Amino acid sequence: MTIRPLQLIFTLALVAAPAAFTQTLAPIAWPPPKPTKHDYAKWEKSVAKFETEDKLQAPPAHPVLFLGSSTIVRWKTLARDFPDLIVLNRGFGGNQIKDSTYYAERMIFPYQPSAIVLRAGGNDIHAGWPAEDVFEDFKAFVAKVRSRIPGIPIVYIGLNPTIKRWNQVAEGNKLNDLIAAYCAQTADLTYIDTRELTLGADGKPRPELFVADQLHFSEEGYNLLTATVRPTLTKVMAAEK
């Protein structure tokens, strides 16, 4: 008699699990109200972790510094994907462009990077910041970095469509357009477009390019991203020699 209720609970849990999982993959209602403030302090542990790692093992001198959100964090094959470059990954999940600006004194300038590759902006838009505001954050990032490292090449990897945030593609492309135009008229700024990187023949994101959360790249997705970034980054670095 005591087993049957447990069996029933277990069975109901199994039935409910796929539905719950599917629900987590559904597009989230968006946009939320525009934020009125930003919490920089919540990333203190992430930045402190980088500093601890640097004390345990000295980072390479003058690396190509990859900054940004989870797309950068999860890019575990950077050294293999760019074998001719000295690279350093300093992305952290949830990163918004303004976070890299705020922590520049601790996670950019100490490395004296030879170039910066930035992939961020998606979390900013997801949080409710309009593309125009995020663009201003990008310009502030460039100004902050170049106040200490004049003329440093900065490469911005544009936003790509995802299944999870499909309803945010238009705003993401607005940001892409603003940054692309700014880079086109500003020396040593380079924009890499990825707005069609993940799209199939039907104009929708290809599921095989994402992991189960339908937001982050799968191995195949990273292969495509690398193939898109490598020629431009190689050209940028060759111009610096």
Each residue's pLDDT expressed in tens, for the chain with a length of 241 residues: 444 544 544 444 444 444 433 444 555 688 899 999 999 999 999 999 999 999 999 999 999 999 999 999 999 999 999 999 999 999 998 999 999 999 999 999 999 999 999 999 999 999 999 999 999 999 999 999 999 999 999 999 999 999 999 999 999 999 999 999 999 999 999 999 999 999 999 999 999 999 999 999 999 999 999 999 999 999 999 998 7
Q: For 46-70, write each residue's pLDDT tens digit.
A: 999 999 999 999 999 999 999 999 9
Q: For 19-38, write each residue's pLDDT tens digit.
A: 433 444 555 688 899 999 99
CATH code of the region 42-234: 3.40.50.1110
Q: Which strands make up the sheet holding 115-119, listed edge to edge?
A: 87-89, 64-68, 115-119, 154-157, 189-192
Rounded to whole angstroms, the Cα distance separating 208 from 193 reads 20
Query: Cα–Cα distances in Å, from 141 out to 136, 146, 176?
Result: 9, 9, 16
Beta bridge partners of 65: 88, 116
Q: Report the pLDDT value the prediction gives residue 29, as an integer from 0 to 100.
A: 81
Q: Report the pLDDT value the prediction gives residue 4, as an integer from 0 to 100.
A: 52
> What are the tokens at 119?
């992939």
How are beta strands 64-68 and 115-119 bridged, if at all?
Answer: parallel
Residue whose entry in the numeric block shows the structure tokens 């539905």: 19
